[in-house]
Amino acid sequence: MAPDRQHHQGLHKDDMSGVDRAAASTFTAEAGMAAKHEETRHYALATALLFEGGRAALSDCGFTIERALPDEGRIEASAGVNWKSFGEDIELTVRDGAVHARSSCKVSTTVFDFGRNRQNVEAVFRALESSLARLPAGRPDTIVGVVPAAATGRAPVPGELTREVFVSYAWGGESEALVERLERAFAEHGITVVRDKQALGYKADIRAFMERLGGGRCVIAVIGDKYLRSPHCMFELMRVAAQGNFQDRVFPVLLDDAKIHRSVDRVRYVQHWEAEIRELDEALKTVSAADLKGFREDIDRYAEIRRTIAELTSILGNMNTLSPQMHSESDFAALVAAVSAKLGAQD
């Protein structure tokens, strides 16, 4: 969603009971010491492809690749602020089907949390596993199983694949509370919910994540009035539509304040975006025409939303959806079943 939604979350020491030590995550944050988080996951996949996927995952998450050493199976990257004493270093080591990620911050996160070590390591693994799960079956080095050992406590079983569903939603309020309940319900069925707060590392490319979401096989859109007035949310929805099979891939949950069932209500959203375009256009007339690239892109984006919002809301309004209350009462049973069927279908 919007860049101003980024925040720093506190880290905690994991409960290590009942977890295979070879696959466990570790975290240290003591006064005067650097904070770190490391984790190993195992994949039934060729080392070269894992190395390629690890490098792409780091880039997708917004890290800067400092060194990539294929012969050593090692990739060094960095994130955080520019000063070395406050930055974060992350290293991936790929060997014999195992990917080990080690992230360390130069200062104790009891005082600073620039690196968000645990969140960034998890984001890299999610990006890696998402790309591996989409590999064509015909590749000679293709994956036969993508199951994080840290999540299962065992090596992957051939034939198992990570199942994921993307969620597009507006931060805060009823929308985010619903997504948190939805995330727990899907986890019980072995389906990973991918959303920006968990999938995006510090300084990661938000637009790249929106594009990735737009191409997702299954996308749950939690739509309310705030969503329909947000340029970031609407951009995600437009990217889903642009990838085709919109009605087949999107699973809407309509909040009570999403007024899209009557034409007269949908017109008000068209009016909103026309007003946004006029306001920004008038503001631009008060400054020099030089170096306005970012502003012009915003106007073009608003204009695209204005062109598509009537059709998209009409499609969503005609889809048979359950109310948030009905979803919550059934623990999202109908939604889980529909997404599971789509994930299991052969396109």
Q: What is the pLDDT of residue 345?
A: 64
- Say which DSSP state 169 is in: -
Report yes or no: 250 and 167 within 8 Å, Cβ to Cβ: no
Select the more confidently predicted residue: 205 or 89. Answer: 89
Confidence of residue 307 (pLDDT cuts 50, 70, 90): very high
| pLDDT at residue 173 greater than cutoff 80 | yes
Backbone angles phi, psi at 87, to 5 degrees: -90, 180
Least confident of 166-170, 188-192, 311-315: 188-192
Q: In this prediction, what percent of the chain has a pLDDT beyond 90?
A: 33
Name the average pLDDT for the chain.
76
pLDDT tens-digit series, residues 6-17: 333 332 323 323
Cα–Cα distance list, 21 to 104, 129, 150, 152, 262 (Å): 19, 21, 9, 12, 57
Q: What is the pLDDT of residue 63?
A: 82
Domain ranges of the chain: 3-152, 163-344
* Average pLDDT of the residues in 29-57: 74
| pLDDT at residue 1 greater than cutoff 90 | no
Residue (of 168, 222, 218, 204) closest to 77 by Cα position: 204
| pLDDT at residue 116 greater than cutoff 90 | no
Select the more confidently predicted residue: 140 or 163. Answer: 163
Residue (of 32, 23, 26) closest to 13 by Cα position: 26
Instruction: Name residues whose C-beta falls within 8 Å of residue 138's C-beta, 6 or more positions apart in sequence.
Output: none
Q: What is the pLDDT of residue 107?
A: 55
- Highest average pLDDT, of 89-103, 225-239, 324-338, comes from 225-239
Residue (of 92, 75, 60, 57) closest to 203 by Cα position: 60
Select the more confidently predicted residue: 62 or 172. Answer: 172
For the chain, how are helix, strand and coil distributed in percent, rounded to 5?
A: 45, 15, 35
Instruction: Name residues whose C-beta falls within 8 Å of residue 123's C-beta, 6 or more positions apart in sequence.
Output: 61, 198, 199, 200, 201, 204
Confidence of residue 343 (pLDDT cuts 50, 70, 90): confident
* Average pLDDT of the residues in 300-327: 90
CATH architecture under which domain 163-344 falls = 3-Layer(aba) Sandwich (3.40)
Report yes or no: 112 and 32 within 8 Å, Cβ to Cβ: no
Q: What is the pLDDT of residue 302?
A: 94
Fold (CATH) for 3-152: TATA-Binding Protein (3.30.310)
